[in-house]
Structure 1
Amino acid sequence: MISLEAMRSYLSTSGRDQRHTMVRAEFRGAVAATGHGSCLSSTGLIARSTGAGNFGHHAIVVFPQIMEPGADYRPTRALPNPPIGLHTICSTFRQLGIQSYFCIPSVAVANDSISMTWRAKELGIPWEDAYQDFPGKLAGFQPRGRRYNFLRNHTDVSIVPDAYIPEEFSKEHLRVALSDRYISEMSDVDGIFWGRQYTYPLEIKEKTCNRDPRLGEYFGLDVGPFVKLAHYAAKRGNLHSLFIVREIADPEARELVAWRYITFDRLAQFASWVQQQGGRGMTGGNSAVVKIPKCEFEVLDANALASL
């Protein structure tokens, strides 16, 4: 078992942006309130290979089992089946050449997150895979030559409500386990929405609306997430990404104005072509952003989700 206190203690050393954790969790609550919660996956990670001549040639996506504080995760327990919807999502990734895994934790010593390990089974394949130690051998990924201390930071996690901690802990522990074994370029998968027409990887951000004399009101998207969405678009198939914005008026008060969304197809059509400085990031600083006119976004509500 892992207690909630042990989860918080681990996250306090990881140095990750906990404000983003809250935004993702609030989005999950907003989707559930519309009756579409079963169409939304948990968070995950996507990793790409590195190295000259090999950069980006191999990719995997992983989804952790969300741990419940105090539950039994002994290695000898009966192992769970992956969520049904995850099979379909991972099949879509598989068709694009991205291997997908459902990962489960093993806790041999109570509340000892450092010795906690992971096992995984590949999904999206036409046969039943068995759970194996993860990360095992990943074709195309460069093994890390020596250990690196990923838990050297001091992060304030007191702002994160108890209900949001288990999902973030599960994803973050898996991220460190993978990073400790392999060198890769890694990014969060904020969620996958299984729509009526397509499967939608999500990029979720909290943004204030800014104004530009040429564009009018706009939202900024950092270049890194923009390129990640472009990567999905290049693979295409049945993947049609969404950029989700939790619009706020004041970064300190964080009072919700509206949830808005734009498909990557429309984002690519109407985003400014010139990378510019500007746009307040979720960590409070300014960064290089792509500007997208606010008028091209739509309000994300039950009707919008039903139409996807």
Structure 2
Amino acid sequence: MSDLFWFEYARYYFQIDYLLSNNDLDMYVIGASGSAYPVELKSKKAADSQTLGKWFGIDMGPFAKLAFFTANGMNTDALYIVEELGDNNQFIQWLAIRYTELVKVCSWVGQSGGTGMTGGTSSTYKVPKAAFLPLIDLLPLL
């Protein structure tokens, strides 16, 4: 029940200050600049790697959807927003990265991820946690 509350709370937070609507992606945000940003919103625990440090994964499906929106010739960008969770699934913080920054820092080598929505395994790209900004710091830049 608390998971649903926090997801709806996040949606409410965006609706107060930003115009948004739902579709196949989690939402769109219209920034103060008037630019539209498709959003992929996930709850994740940071993984750790000796070579990369702490990182989050982005599944190849959402990665491709965000690529479509940024490659459409309309000078758009997209956002990947992560609700970071601790070991006991407790909320830690909201983090975000623009897709045009994500593609510069992601691993570009897919690896097997967790179980997908259809029950099979997913393929994931690693994105260093250090590349994310706190969501509260990124939103005013839109």
Superposed, which structure 2 residues align to 1:148-167 within 5 Å? none
Is 1:26 aligned with 2:9? yes
Kindly indicate whether the alpha-carbon contact (under 8 Å) linking 1:24 and 1:204 is maintained by their aligned counterparts in 2. Answer: no
Match of 1:287 among 115, 122, 130: 122
Kindly tell me: are residues 275 and 286 of structure 1, through their superposed partners in 2, closer, same or farther at Cα, counting changes over 3 Å? same
Shift of 1:231: 0.6
TM-score normalised by structure 2 residue count = 0.84
Is 1:195 aligned with 2:28? no
Give the Cα–Cα distance (whole angstroms) in 2 for the partners of residues 266 and 296 of structure 1.
8
Match of 1:259 among 85, 89, 94: 94
Shift of 1:292: 0.2
Deviations 1:166-222 (A, max 9, x none): xxxxxxxxxxxxxxxxxxxxxx22111111332111000111000122211100011
Kindly tell me: are residues 203 and 22 of structure 1, through their superposed partners in 2, closer, same or farther at Cα, counting changes over 3 Å? farther
Unaligned runs of 5+ in 2: none
Shift of 1:285: 7.7
Which residue pairs with 1:273 in the alignment? 108
Shift of 1:21: 6.2
The count of residues paired between Structure 1 and Structure 2 equals 141
Kindly tell me: are residues 305 and 38 of structure 1, through their superposed partners in 2, closer, same or farther at Cα, counting changes over 3 Å? same
Which residue pairs with 2:18 in the alignment? 39
Secondary structure (helix, strand or coil) at the match of 1:243 reads: strand
CA RMSD of aligned residues (A): 2.8
Kindly tell me: are residues 274 and 241 of structure 1, through their superposed partners in 2, closer, same or farther at Cα, counting changes over 3 Å? same
Which residue pairs with 2:138 in the alignment? 304
Kindly indicate whether the alpha-carbon contact (under 8 Å) linking 1:259 and 1:300 is maintained by their aligned counterparts in 2. Answer: yes
Secondary structure (helix, strand or coil) at the match of 2:81 reads: strand
Which residue pairs with 1:232 in the alignment? 69
Secondary structure (helix, strand or coil) at the match of 2:70 reads: helix
Give the Cα–Cα distance (whole angstroms) in 1 for the partners of residues 2 and 110 of structure 2.
25
Larger Rg: 1
TM-score normalised by structure 1 residue count = 0.41
Secondary structure (helix, strand or coil) at the match of 1:193 reads: strand
Kindly indicate whether the alpha-carbon contact (under 8 Å) linking 2:21 and 2:29 is maintained by their aligned counterparts in 1. Answer: no
